[in-house]
Structure 1
Amino acid sequence: MSAPLNGIRVIDWTHVLAGPACAYYLGLLGADIIKVESLNGDAMRHRGGTDKNLSAKGMSTAYQTQGGGKKSIALDLETETGRDVFHRLLQSADVLVENHRPSTLDRLRLTEAQTKVINPKLIHCAMTGYGRGNAMENAPAYDVNIQAISGLMSLTGTQDTGPIRTGAPIVDYATGLVGALGVMSALFSRQTSESGAFVDVSMLETAFSLMSSTITDYQMTATAPQPRGNAANSRSPSSGTFACLSGHLSLGVNEETQFRKLAVALGCDDWLTDARFADPVARDKNKDMLGNALTRVLATRTAEDWENRLLAAGVPAARLRTLPEALDLPPAKTRKFASRGASGGVGLPFVMTGNPDTPDPKPVPRLGNDTHSVLQALGYCDDQINSLRKTGVIAG
C-alpha cells in the first residue's frame, strides 16, 4: 500500500520549528519535500539542542528533528534570478508551505495572489503568528510569544509561582500538525475543484484550540480562568497530582465508578459510606478535606507502587516520569514513535495501515545538498547551474 501523499511535491520555504515540522509531517506521509533555504541556511541549523558541535556544523538537533527526508537547495530569493528559479519550482509543485510575514511576501512578490498566477493549482499554506486580515498580521512571533499572548501561560503555575511556559514548544509543533491538516484538506478538495487553495494558519488560533474547553467555559460563564497548578481541568476533587512516599502520582478520577475503585484500592472503603465523600456533590463540597485525605494515604507508599495497584484496579493513574523514563514505556518502545521518522527520529503521532513501522532511513540534508540535482530536474543545464552558482544565486 503506497503512502497517501506519494507523487505530491511540497516546496518547504520555512524556518525555525512550526513550518519545517508541517512539511516534515507531509513528507512522512509520502510527499516529496524540497526545502528552500537562504544561502546562509535556516537559522535553526545553528541553534537549539545541547550539542554545540552539531549546531556549529549547521546540523543542530532542533534542526534535525524535522529535517529528515527532505532535499535542500540554497537559493537567494532577494535576487530576480533567484525568484525566477523559485517560480519554476512552484510550477512543478503541488504545495508551498511558508512561514513568512505578509510584508516579506509582498516585497518578494510571492503573495498568495502572485503564487496563484504562477501555478493556479498550487496549495499555498501560510503559517504566521496571528493569521491574515487583522492589525497584527505582520507582527513577528515565536512559540514563547504565543504562549504568553494567548493566555496559555496564565493558566500554568500557581498564584505563588506566577505564569510558567510549558517545558516544550508545544504551540510550534501543534501549529505544524494544524498546517499539515489544512494542506491535506486542500489536497482532498482539489480532487473535485481542480484548483489550488490558500491555507491561512495562525499560531494564536492553534494555541486557542489547545484551550478549547477553557475558552468555552469562559464565554458561557464570564469567569476568567485562574492558574490551578497541578489540579485537573475536570475540577474533580479526586483528580490531580499528589506527592507520595517517593515520587508523584497523577490521578484522573472523574466518574463515580472510578472513585469507588479508588477508595477500595487505597484501602479506604469507609469513604463510600462517609457522608462527606459518599457522592459527587458531597465530595465537591468537602474537596479540601478529600484532598487532604488523599494526600495522607498516598504519602504512605511510593508512586510506583500506587501506580501498579491503581491501574490493576482500573483507576486512571500515572506516575510522574522524566522524559527518559517515558521513552522507556511499553507503548513508546513497541510503537517506536521516537524512531519511526524519516531519519530514524520522531514520527507522526498515529499509525496507519500501509505505513512502515521502520521506514528506510533518509538523511538530514546538508545546506544546498540537492541544489544541483533539483535544478537539473527543473530543466537547467550544467552551464546554467554553474552560472547561477558563480553569480551567488545558489549554493551547493
Structure 2
Amino acid sequence: MTGGLPLSGVRILDASHVLAGPFATYQLCLMGADAVRVERIGGDDFVRHHGGSAELRTQGMGGSFAAQNAGKACILLDLKAPGGRDVFLKLAAACDVVMENYRPGVMDRLGVGYADVKAMKPDIVYCSLTGYGPQGPFADAPAYDHIVQGVSGLMSMTGTKDSGPQRMGLPITDYIAGLTAALAVAGALHQKRATGEGQHLVVPMLASVLAFMGSYAIDAQTLGRERGLQGNAPFSGSPFAGRFDTVDGHLVVTANTAAQAVRMVRALGLADLEPLAAGTAPDALSEADRARVAEALDRTFRTRTALEWEEALGAAAVPAGKVRGLGEILAHPQTAAMGCLDDLPLPGLEDPVKLPGLGFTSDAWTRRPLSEPEAPGQSTRDVLAGLGLSRREIDDLARAGAVAGPGLPPRSA
C-alpha cells in the first residue's frame, strides 16, 4: 500500500434521499470522502423503514438505508424555517460537493440551488440527480426506478411473451444513476484540480440508463425493429446458450463462439450436435436445427445437478454457472476472495453483516472500515459546532424549528 484513500479530504453535503443520490455519495465515501447527510425534519424518506429485520426498520435502520449511508454524519434541517437556509449554505460553503435529487427547480425555490451555493462557494461541484433533467416534456414528472424502467425501454425487453414486460428484480435504474453520478463527480473533482473551477452536473436517471443500451439503440434505428422481450434468450443469440433446468435447480450457459459450442457438446456427450456447433450466430441454423439443439440440451442438463454441470463445463472451458440465491453467493469463497465485502455494524446485532461495497480493489490503498449508520439528526449539534456555531446559537436554531436532533431543545410553540 502506497497511500491514503483517493478521495480523502473531499467533503460532501448530501441533500439526496431514497436510493440513487445516497448510493452515489456512499460510493464516494468508500473512496475516502466525508459526507454530511441532510434530512428534512419530519421527512418521509421511506428507505429508513424499508428492508432488513423488523427491529432494524423500527429503529430507522432499514436495510435500504443502512446499505448506503454508513459513515455519514446525519443532521435534521428545515430549509423553510428561520435560519434553515443559512445553515445549508454555510454547510455547502464548507464542502467540495453538493448532491441533490429533487425535481428540477425545487432547490432553486428553496434558495439553495446551484447559483445560491456558487455565490458562497465559487468552486463547488454541484450534482443534480433527476428523473429526466431540467428540460423536455418529462422534466417536471416524478420518477422512481419502476417508472424509469418502463419509460426507458428496459421493461420492453425484460420478460417473456407470457409474462409481458417486467421490471428487473432490483431497482437497477437507481443504482445505474447513482454510479453515473459518482463518476461525474469524480471527473469534476479531477478537472477542478487543473482549473480551480467548480461546475453544475445534471444526471438524469433516464439518460444514465440509456447510456447502457447503445447496441440496442443501433438495432432499433437500423433494423427498423426492436429486439423485444428477451426472456432468458442469450444476448449473443447462440442456440448453445441460455438458462437450463437441472436435477436440483437452474444453470446458465453462454457458449457464444463455435469453439465454445464444440467444447460444450463434447462435454455433454452430444457428439451428434458437433456439426451444428459452428452455427452460433443467431441466424446460422435453421429453425429445425435450433429446435433439435434446444431439445437435446434440455434433456441432457436435466440429468445432473447444477453444480455438477458448472464444474464439468468449467473444466471444459465453457462459461457456465449455477443460478444462485444472493445469500448463497455472499457465503461463497469466491466472494470472499474478491475482497468486495465490508463489515457493517448494525444496532442490536452482535456481529456485523457482510455488505457489498466498492466493486473493485486497489493495490494503492486499503478499504475504509464502516461505522454504524446514524439515527436522524444524530450529528446535528456536532456538525453545526464544526461550523463555528455556539451551543446557544444551535439551541436557538432548534427552537426556531430550523434544526433538530437528540439533545437539542424542541421547537418553540
Residue 367 of structure 1, CA deviation: 0.8
Task: Map 1:62-211 onto structure 2 (within 5 A).
Answer: 62-211=64-213
Task: Map 1:13-28 onto structure 2 (within 5 A).
Answer: 13-28=15-30
Q: Give the secondary-structure state (helix, strand or coil) at the position aligned to 1:106.
A: helix
Task: Map 1:183-262 onto structure 2 (within 5 A).
Answer: 183-262=185-264
User: In the aligned structure 2, how far is the partner of 1:176 from the partner of 1:311?
Assistant: 34
Note if contact 2:88-2:112 (Cα within 8 Å) is conserved in structure 1. Answer: no
Residue 178 of structure 1, CA deviation: 0.7
**Counterpart code for 1:349:** G
User: In the aligned structure 2, how far is the partner of 1:55 from the partner of 1:280?
Assistant: 49
Q: Paired residues, what number?
A: 393
Residue 222 of structure 1, CA deviation: 1.9
Residue 79 of structure 1, CA deviation: 2.3
1:103-147 CA deviation, whole Å, 9 max, x = no partner? 312320222222222211000000011122222222111111111
User: In the aligned structure 2, how far is the partner of 1:342 from the partner of 1:14?
Assistant: 23
User: In the aligned structure 1, how far is the partner of 2:166 from the partner of 2:145?
Assistant: 13
**Counterpart code for 1:393:** A
Q: Which moved more, 1:121-130 or 1:360-369?
A: 360-369
Unmatched 5+ stretches in structure 1: none
1:180-230 CA deviation, whole Å, 9 max, x = no partner? 000000001111111111111111112212323222221222212211211
Q: CA RMSD in A?
A: 1.8
Note if contact 1:125-1:179 (Cα within 8 Å) is conserved in structure 2. Answer: yes
Instruction: Tell me what 1:352 maps to.
Output: 362
**CA distance 1:287–1:41, shift in 2 (3 Å):** same
Task: Map 1:330-341 onto structure 2 (within 5 A).
Answer: 330-339=333-342
User: In the aligned structure 2, how far is the partner of 1:215 from the partner of 1:341?
Assistant: 40
User: In the aligned structure 2, how far is the partner of 1:152 from the partner of 1:82?
Assistant: 40
Note if contact 1:340-1:347 (Cα within 8 Å) is conserved in structure 2. Answer: no
Q: Give the secondary-structure state (helix, strand or coil) at the position aligned to 2:105.
A: helix
Q: Give the secondary-structure state (helix, strand or coil) at the position aligned to 2:165.
A: coil
Q: TM-score, normalised by structure 1?
A: 0.94
**CA distance 1:232–1:30, shift in 2 (3 Å):** same
Q: Give the secondary-structure state (helix, strand or coil) at the position aligned to 1:165.
A: coil
Percent of residue pairs bearing the same amino acid type: 37
Instruction: Tell me what 2:408 maps to.
Output: none
Q: Which moved more, 1:386-395 or 1:8-17?
A: 386-395
Residue 158 of structure 1, CA deviation: 0.7
**CA distance 1:388–1:117, shift in 2 (3 Å):** same
**CA distance 1:284–1:329, shift in 2 (3 Å):** farther
User: In the aligned structure 1, how far is the partner of 2:48 from the partner of 2:200?
Assistant: 31
Note if contact 2:249-2:323 (Cα within 8 Å) is conserved in structure 1. Answer: yes
Note if contact 1:263-1:269 (Cα within 8 Å) is conserved in structure 2. Answer: yes
Say if 2:366 is the partner of 1:366. Answer: no
Q: Which moved more, 1:36-45 or 1:305-314?
A: 36-45
**CA distance 1:380–1:329, shift in 2 (3 Å):** same
Q: Which moved more, 1:84-93 or 1:212-221?
A: 212-221
**CA distance 1:376–1:98, shift in 2 (3 Å):** same
Q: Give the secondary-structure state (helix, strand or coil) at the position aligned to 1:339.
A: strand
Q: Give the secondary-structure state (helix, strand or coil) at the position aligned to 2:202.
A: strand
Instruction: Tell me what 2:285 maps to.
Output: 284
Residue 175 of structure 1, CA deviation: 1.1
Q: Give the secondary-structure state (helix, strand or coil) at the position aligned to 1:292.
A: helix
**Counterpart code for 1:284:** L
User: In the aligned structure 1, how far is the partner of 2:4 from the partner of 2:138?
Assistant: 42
Q: Give the secondary-structure state (helix, strand or coil) at the position aligned to 1:24.
A: helix
Note if contact 2:244-2:252 (Cα within 8 Å) is conserved in structure 1. Answer: yes
Note if contact 2:37-2:75 (Cα within 8 Å) is conserved in structure 1. Answer: yes
User: In the aligned structure 1, how far is the partner of 2:297 from the partner of 2:47?
Assistant: 48
Q: Give the secondary-structure state (helix, strand or coil) at the position aligned to 2:129.
A: strand
Note if contact 1:143-1:172 (Cα within 8 Å) is conserved in structure 2. Answer: yes
Note if contact 1:307-1:317 (Cα within 8 Å) is conserved in structure 2. Answer: yes
**Counterpart code for 2:106:** T
Unmatched 5+ stretches in structure 2: 347-353, 406-413
Choose between structure 1 and 2: higher helix proportion: 1
Note if contact 1:16-1:42 (Cα within 8 Å) is conserved in structure 2. Answer: no
Q: 2:308 aligns with which of 305, 309, 329?
A: 305
**Counterpart code for 2:355:** G
Note if contact 1:342-1:360 (Cα within 8 Å) is conserved in structure 2. Answer: no
User: In the aligned structure 1, how far is the partner of 2:83 from the partner of 2:53?
Assistant: 37
Note if contact 2:262-2:277 (Cα within 8 Å) is conserved in structure 1. Answer: no
Note if contact 1:283-1:290 (Cα within 8 Å) is conserved in structure 2. Answer: no
Q: 1:35 aligns with which of 29, 34, 37?
A: 37
Instruction: Tell me what 1:384 maps to.
Output: 393
User: In the aligned structure 2, how far is the partner of 1:120 from the partner of 1:342?
Assistant: 38
Q: Give the secondary-structure state (helix, strand or coil) at the position aligned to 1:178.
A: helix
User: In the aligned structure 1, how far is the partner of 2:171 from the partner of 2:186?
Assistant: 23
**CA distance 1:41–1:356, shift in 2 (3 Å):** farther
User: In the aligned structure 2, how far is the partner of 1:138 from the partner of 1:80?
Assistant: 28
Q: Give the secondary-structure state (helix, strand or coil) at the position aligned to 1:284.
A: coil
Q: Which moved more, 1:156-165 or 1:218-227?
A: 218-227
Q: Give the secondary-structure state (helix, strand or coil) at the position aligned to 2:369.
A: coil
**CA distance 1:366–1:277, shift in 2 (3 Å):** closer
